[in-house]
């Protein structure tokens, strides 16, 4: 019976390597998000050229400006998503596979890889996801047509709710007395 138990435990412990798939695909998704954000960012100079064209009307300039700001927000959003996926990949690898020996020699490692466990990883990713949602909100707000006072009220309410969310998130991470 002891041999069977030992064999089962060996297989169970080795099953953690299934997370290599999560690490690889999260890294590939990060590269894809980085590529999309970079393509968006590289599209910006053409819009800036259009924006600076003195022959366009004020309405056209406002439309180009909205497109440019949306593109900037999309790019920032893509880079934040890239960061989330990379932190997730590094965290999965560190938790389930092995310590990243190469990273231990880097001065960035203490800031990037300091995780107390899965809860800490989840909390870090949750903070970044809130940031992505805030960016997405503002991206949509830039394109919002405000036809009535109620539209403006909804936009203001959304901004207040985002501010409240960020404030409460800050309270949670620093505690009610402000300690870290």
pLDDT attached to residue 180:
46
pLDDT in tens, 53-104: 888 888 888 888 888 888 888 898 899 889 888 888 988 888 888 887 777 7
How far is residue 111 from each of residues 54, 79, 124, 132, 177, measured CA to CA in Å? 47, 18, 12, 21, 24
Q: Quick one: what percent of the chain has pLDDT higher than 90?
A: 20
pLDDT attached to residue 111:
65
Mean pLDDT calculated for residue range 128-138: 79
**Is the pLDDT assigned to residue 27 strictly greater than 90?**
yes
CA distance 112 to 108: 6
**Is the pLDDT assigned to residue 38 strictly greater than 70?**
yes
pLDDT attached to residue 112:
66
**Is the pLDDT assigned to residue 116 strictly greater than 90?**
no
pLDDT attached to residue 84:
84
Q: Quick one: what percent of the chain has pLDDT higher than 70?
A: 89
pLDDT attached to residue 154:
85
Mean pLDDT calculated for residue range 134-152: 80
**Is the pLDDT assigned to residue 10 strictly greater than 60?**
yes
Token pair 């890294």 in the structure block, residue: 27
Burial class (CB in 10 A: 0-12, 13-18, 19+), 134: middle
pLDDT attached to residue 45:
92
């Amino acid at each position: 019976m002891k041999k069977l138990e030992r064999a089962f435990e060996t297989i169970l412990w080795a099953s953690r390597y299934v997370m290599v798939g999560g690490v690889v695909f999260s890294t590939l998704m990060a590269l894809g998000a980085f590529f999309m954000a970079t393509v968006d960012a590289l599209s910006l100079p053409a819009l800036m050229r259009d924006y600076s064209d003195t022959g366009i009307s004020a309405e056209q300039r406002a439309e180009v400006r909205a497109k440019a700001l949306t593109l900037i927000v999309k790019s920032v959003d893509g880079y934040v998503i890239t960061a989330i996926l990379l932190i997730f990949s590094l965290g999965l690898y560190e938790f389930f596979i092995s310590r990243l020996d190469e990273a231990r020699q880097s001065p960035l490692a203490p800031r990037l890889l300091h995780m107390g466990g899965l809860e800490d990883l989840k909390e870090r990713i949750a903070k970044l996801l809130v940031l992505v949602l805030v960016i997405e909100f503002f991206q949509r707000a830039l394109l919002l047509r405000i036809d009535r006072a109620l539209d403006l009220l909804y936009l203001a309410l959304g901004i207040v709710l985002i501010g409240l969310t960020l404030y409460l998130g800050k309270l949670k991470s620093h505690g009610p007395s402000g300690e870290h």
